[in-house]
Every structure is written in structure tokens, then in C-alpha cells.
Structure 1
Amino acid sequence: MTQIHPTAIVDAAAELDASVSVGPYAIIGPKVRIGAGTSIGPHCVVEGRTTIGRDNRFFQFSSIGAQPQDKKYAGEDTELVIGDRNVVREFCTFNLGVPQAGGTTRIGSDNWIMAYTHVAHDCVIGDHTTLSNNTTLAGHVTLGDWVTVGGLTGIHQFVKIGAHAMLGFASAVTQDVPPFMLVDGNPLAVRGFNVVGLKRRGFDSEQLAAVKQMHRLLYRQGKTLEEARQAIRELGSQMPSAKAEVALMDAFLADATRGIAR
């Protein structure tokens, strides 16, 4: 049987796998679906049309699937979708989407989300991210895979953060951050590329050299953005084992709607 503490309130319409555990004083709403092995900690509230995958752990006092903090929201049946094996620490708030933006807030798998993190409506978070304490994502923010966000960092609405980027402590992020870059500050500045993180993930010497060269082309050679993009595209043929990284960067720059941090 599902392990539900007698003080928890679980709506009869909620769909919980038999291996789900629900802690004391937690509340689970009628449109919630929770997959195998997931644990919901004491005093958590999970509501709205929220789907949670397998083997997640929610620590105490989080608010998951509440209405978006958007004045245009009028009670529409929007949703929050969370993947597998995420760790969500205390006092986190994840909101539903709004219909004007597709209506879905989406969090991937294998993320480490620390205390007091806020994920606003229609954000999209990839896999293997680390969001440190008091990370704040405004609406429509996109985080690629393996992004690391330092504590007390705020990310402006509609900003995109590329895969493998690292945002330092207490940063104010108002423009898109390209993949692999290391940024911090207020105003935000690019400090280099995330060499330590990339080495930990097994990037080989040619991949690291390609990322280093892309950083130089974007930030060290006085090129316009279009000139830098053209030079970055040419790296794909010069460094065959780094084609995926070059393609990732080129695709990101093509879709950078707020301008990139420079």
C-alpha cells in the first residue's frame, strides 16, 4: 500500500503509485499524479494538474503546482510536469503554467534543487542541473542540461541559459547566457568558460579546446555576434570530435532573443 501518514490529506481522485510515501500534514490535490518511489515530505502541498515521475524526493514545506503568479491567469487548467530522480529541498515553490505561453512548466530529471528555489510559470528546466539556495526563476526561463546556478541568483523572465553554463553567486541575469560559459555579477559579466565542470563530465581535450576557442571568438576578439557565429560554425569541420558542442552553441545563438551576456 501507498505509505500515507494518517495526518496527510490525499484527495481520492489523486493517482499515486503504491510505492509513494506521503509525510505528516502533507496535502495532495485531486489532479496530481505521482510515480513510483517518490516521497513527499511533511507539510508539502502538491496541487493543480501536476505530474511527478519516479524516485523523486521532496523535503518538507514545499509548494508544488500552485497557481502562477501572473495577473492574467484566470483558473485555466494548466500544468506542471516533473521528471525522475530529482531532489527538492525545503521551501521550494514550483508554479503551473499560463495558457498564453503553452500552459506547461516543465522540470526534467536528475536535478538537485536547493532550499527556497522558485520556479515560475512556463519555465523549462533540463536534466542534471544544480540550483543553489534562493535561486529565483521568473516566468518563461529556460535552463539547459547541466546548468549550475549559484545561491541568491535571480534570472529575468524569458532568459535562456545554455547547457553546461555556470552562474556565480548573487548574479542578476537579464540576458541569455551561451552554453559552457562562466558568468557572475550585477551587472552580469562573462568570466570565462566552465572548464572545471566540463572536465568533470568527461570532455576530451579537443572538446575543451573547441569551447575555449568559441569563448575567444565571442568575447576576446572584438567580433560582432554574426562574425563570431560564422567563425564558430567553421570550427565544426576543424575539430570533428567537437561537432556536437559547436552545433549546440550555434543553435543557441540563433535563438537568443534577449541578446547574449557580453
Structure 2
Amino acid sequence: MFDFKWLYEFIIFIYCLSLIGYFIDFIQYNRKANRIAFWLLSMVWVLQTLFLLGEMLAYSNFPISTIYDGLYFYAWILVTFSLVINRLFRVDFFIFFTNVLGFFLMVLHIFTRANSDATEQSMRLVSELLVTHITLAMVSYGFFTFSCIFSFMYLLQYRLLKEKRWNKWLLRLGDLGKLDSLSYIAVVLGVPLLLIANILGVIWGYTSTDVFYIFDSKTLGSFVVLGVYLTYLALRVVRGYQGRAMALYNTLAFLFLLVNFFLFGSLSNFHF
């Protein structure tokens, strides 16, 4: 990516301060810390967006051509959606849990970049079709991430209620019904995006001059991920399942998504 090392390090620093603020609020219910953390995170989003725009101007393409760029874009999606969702639904702790993961991705990105071979020839995007395929897939992963976080919060809330631990965390985690509904809505939004992304990916594979294997590990894994989340929707809509069972299923589904993204991606012949 474009070498704005000072800007990237500044983003990491501001991101870290934001997480500290949210952690203070998480422990002490400090609304002032929460507000400061929110505006710091908003600053992170602005700087991340400027970084992406700088990449686009420098290379005249969307910077998602390697796994390193993909991690950065994934983190940007999490920051963007978490700010929007927090404003729309005012769900305490959601923005904290989401951006713990986002910060991890940012740090992982900078370390993988530092350890990569400088002479490595990264896969370049050859058509707008491929750009659309990758972008939609990453956005769908963002929705599935949010869904998993809502499910995690549901399971935590469920456990506190079961153990009759009545404290301020119980109220701030959110209503069980609301968390269950938001988790479901995130999957509903993510599934069609992943479906379209997979279809476009196959079309690109058969129309491009690059080597394409329909039985590639990442290709098959992406369709399995889609099948797992379609099963979630079928259990929810057709069978009427909800609550703790679906929260557990959703968490396991996201774990498989991570396996597909990191493990199957590294074993793939042409995916990042």
C-alpha cells in the first residue's frame, strides 16, 4: 500500500486511545470517557478513509488486492458500520467489542506488511468485476462480524440472567430480544451480499485470463460459508428457532468464516 507510515502509526495511536476510553466506560460506566472515545474513533475513521483515498489516487485502483490490504479494508468496514449502528441503535458495549477486533486487524495488518517480502508480486485486480466481487465479500464479512458480536453479547447477557447476577452490566448489554433481532438482521444483510460476491467471483474466474480452479480451497470454503449462513436463516425463518441455540450456532458459523478467510485463503492458489 501507499507508504504513509506516519499516518498509519498515528491512526493506530488514536485507535488505541479510543479503545482505552471505551474500556474505562466498560468498567466504570463513565459517559464522558464514552463520548471522548466515540469522537476519537470518528477521527480514526476519517484518517482511515484519507489513507484509502490516498491509495486509490496513488495506484488508480481499490486497495484490496492482497491479504494485507484486505485486513485494512476489513478494519475500515468495522469502524464505519460500528459508528453508524451505534448512532442508530445506541447499543452499549457493541462499539467496544467490535473495535477490539478492528484494532487487532489494524495491528495484524501492519505486522504482516512489515514481515512480507518486499519483492513479492501481489495479485492485481484485472477488472471491475473482480473489484465488486472482493468488495461485496468483505462487506458481507463485516455484517457477519457484527452478527457474531451481537450473539456473543446475547450469550453473555443470558449467562448473567441465569446466574442472577443483577448488576449494571446486565442493563448495558442490551435486551435479549433486541440483541437476538440485531444479530438476525445482520445475517439477513450479509447473506445476499456474499451470494452475489460468490457468483461474481465465479463469473470473473471463467472470463479472465488468470488461472481459476472451481475446486480451490477458498472458493469451496466461501460457498460452504454461504451454506452455513443460509442454514441459519432456514432454521430461523422456517423452523422458528431463536435465542441461545441460534446465538451458539451463529458464533460457530463465524469461527468457520475466520478459518475460511485465514487458513483456506493461505492454501488457495489464487485467492489472498
State the TM-score bracket (shorter-chain normalisation): under 0.3
State TM-score, norm by structure 2: 0.27
State TM-score, norm by structure 1: 0.27
Instruction: Considering Cα pairs closer than 8 Å and 6+ residues apart, tell me whether 1 or 2 has the greater RCO.
Output: 2
Structure with greater helix share of residues:
2
Structure with greater strand share of residues:
1
